[in-house]
Amino acid sequence: EDQGRLVLSCPNQPGIVAEVTRFLYEREADIIQIEQHMDEHFFLRVVFQCDQFERRIEEIRQQFAPIAESYEMQWRMVSAARKHRLAIFVSKEGHCLQDLLWRFQTGELEAEISMVISNHADLKPLVEPYGIPYYHVPVTKETREEAARIHMELLEPAKIDTIILARYMQIIPSWMTQRYRHQIINIHHSFLPAFAGAKPYHRAYERGVKMIGATAHYVTEELDQGPIIEQDVKRVDHRYSVEDLKRIGRDIERIVLARAVRWHIQDQVMVDGNRTIVFSGI
**Site residues, a second copy (CB under 8 A):** 14-15, 17-18, 21-22, 24-25, 28, 30-38, 94-95, 98, 102, 106, 108, 129, 191-195, 205-211, 213, 227-228, 230-233, 235-240, 244, 247-248, 251, 255, 258, 272, 274-278, 280-282
Smallest separation (angstroms) from a second copy to the CB of 144: 27
Residue 151 or 189: the one with the smaller Cβ distance to a second copy is 189
User: Is-contact 268 279, C-beta < 8 A?
Assistant: yes
Q: Cα–Cα distance between 202 and 38 in angstroms, integer?
A: 39
Residue 168 or 218: the one with the smaller Cβ distance to a second copy is 218
* C-alpha distances out from residue 274 to 162, 167, 181, 229, Å: 19, 22, 12, 10
Smallest separation (angstroms) from a second copy to the CB of 141: 28
Residue 174 or 274: the one with the smaller Cβ distance to a second copy is 274
User: Is-contact 86 161, C-beta < 8 A?
Assistant: yes
Burial of 39 (0-12, 13-18, 19+ CB in 10 A): exposed
Catalytically annotated residue among 224, 232, 251, 267: 224
Q: Residue 272 catalytic?
A: no
- Looking at residue 14, its amino acid is P
Smallest separation (angstroms) from a second copy to the CB of 129: 7
User: Is-contact 276 121, C-beta < 8 A?
Assistant: no
- Closest CA relative to residue 164, chosen from 78, 264, 277, 76: 264
Residue 55 or 92: the one with the smaller Cβ distance to a second copy is 92
Report strand pairing: 112-118 vs 41-49.
Answer: unpaired
Smallest separation (angstroms) from a second copy to the CB of 143: 30
- Closest CA relative to residue 215, chosen from 196, 236, 181, 190: 190
Q: What is the dihedral of CA 240, 241, 242, 248, to 10 degrees?
A: -40
Smallest separation (angstroms) from a second copy to the CB of 135: 23
Active site residues: 224
